């Protein structure tokens, strides 16, 4: 799992039928300084996240399990919305 920031929405009128009903969001990973790193990634949203929010993302088979769709073509799922992050120095 990792922290990411929601940077946009993905609208797809034509998609795999196993993705119908899922909201798709565009996210970018955050580093420990809360800076955007890496490339944008499309995630299935299971928690009702919105643009600008910090979220918890899980990948791989855990992402499919979290979305309750083990046979779906899901690689990344948003599983939490972050309220605060505390890092001890």
Give all domains of the chain, ordered by start, each with its CATH number: 2-81 (2.40.50.220)
Global pTM reads 0.89
What is the spatial distance between Cα 15 and Cα 13, in angstroms, rounded to a whole number? 6
**pLDDT per residue of the chain (89 residues) written in tens, 0 to 9:** 999 999 999 999 888 887 888 899 999 999 999 999 999 999 999 999 999 999 999 998 787 777 666 667 878 999 999 999 998 87
Q: What is the DSSP letter of 9?
A: E
CA 8 to CA 67: how far, in whole Å?
A: 20
Distances (CA, A) of 35 to 12, 25, 28, 86: 28, 19, 9, 15
- Within 13 Å, how many C-alpha atoms sit on residue 48's CB side? 0
């Amino acid at each position: 799992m990792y922290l990411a920031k929601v940077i946009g929405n993905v609208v797809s009128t034509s998609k795999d039928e196993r993705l119908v009903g899922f909201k798709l969001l565009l996210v970018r990973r955050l580093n420990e300084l809360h800076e955007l790193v890496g490339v944008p990634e499309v995630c299935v949203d299971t928690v009702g996240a919105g643009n600008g929010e910090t979220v918890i993302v899980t990948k791989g088979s855990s992402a499919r399990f979290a979305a309750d769709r083990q046979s779906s073509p899901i690689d990344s799922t948003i599983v939490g919305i972050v309220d605060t992050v505390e890092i001890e120095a």
